[in-house]
Amino acid sequence: MKRLLTLLVLVISVFSYGQSADEIVKKSEDKLRGSTSKGVMEIKIVRPTWERTITATSWSAGSDSSLVLINAPARDKGTVFLKRDKEIWNYIPTINRQVKMPPSMMAQSWMGSDFNNDDLVRESSLVVDYTHTLLRRETIRGKECYVIESKPKPEAPVVWGKLVSWITVDENLQWQTEFYDQRDELVQRMEGFDVVEFDGRTLPSRMRMTPLDEEDGYYTELKYIELDFDVTFPENFFSVQNMRRVR
């Protein structure tokens, strides 16, 4: 009887909202990633007494391959982050070395920002590594959203204990995400702003990550300056050898 009731709840939920949680998440990830993409972004790290801006170029192919090249500031120029399948590499130009990053570093801050290494190279995938539950609909910052809870699958290589996402009903935009640690405590919140069309896709052009365990005035904003989809890459573009050459 309990299994029957659970099944009925799931069926009613799908019919009420029109899509399953898995379908909504997949559409939002597909829209954000595309099959391949290239972007230019500006990352502004804001603290109560100082600010720092990083510019970078990023390339990605699905959820398995991505590469980020730091263009500025001058002291970090040429630094590269590479994700290839389950491997994460960092090229440090000042010592001319590639370093393989252990999984334990995925939760660490990326370049001193409020994003972590996992956020920027997207080691984990919402579609692959989490199971999803559609909780309700809710309007935030002027957009009606599906509210979806995502919990990691057993043995999934993920940083977070749980995510709660607000994905817009009309355009499948990732409009807000709350990040919970392994003790189910809310740690940080990411919000989308300024919807812009990039290469035929409407997306938030500005994403703000705010740590919730700090005082006011701590946040990091990632702003896309350019974003192109369905880009063709040379063979072996996402390789350790190319980290030294990419520009």
- 19-48 pLDDT tens trace: 899 999 999 988 877 789 999 999 999 999
Residues 86-144: pLDDT tens digits?
Answer: 788 999 999 999 999 887 777 788 889 999 877 765 555 788 889 999 999 999 999 99
Per-residue pLDDT of 141-184, as tens digits, reads 999 999 999 999 988 878 889 999 999 999 999 999 999 999 99
Distance CA 191, CA 79 (A): 27
Q: What does the pLDDT look like over 54-79, one tens digit per residue?
A: 999 999 987 778 999 999 999 999 99
**Residues 116, 107 contacting (CB under 8 angstroms):** yes
Output the pLDDT for position 127. 82
Which pLDDT band, with edges at 50, 70 and 90, does 53 fall under? Answer: very high
Domains of the chain (ranges; CATH) run 19-244 (2.50.20.10)
CA atoms within 13 A on the CB side of 230: 5
Question: Quick one: pLDDT at residue 106?
Answer: 72
Distance between CA 131 and CA 22 in Å, rounded? 8
Identify the pLDDT of residue 122. Answer: 55
Look at residue 104 in the predicted model and tell me its pLDDT.
72
What's the rounded Cα separation, in Å, for the pair 133 and 131? Answer: 7
| pLDDT recorded at residue 129 | 86
Evaluate the omega torsion of the peptide bond into residue 73 and state whether it is cis, within 30 degrees of 0: yes
User: pLDDT value at position 124?
Assistant: 59
Confidence tier at 229 by pLDDT (50, 70, 90): very high
Q: What string of H, E and C letters represents the secondary structure of 111-170?
A: CCCCCEHHHHHCCCCHHHHEEEEEEEEEEECCEEEEEEEEEECCCCCCCCCEEEEEEECC
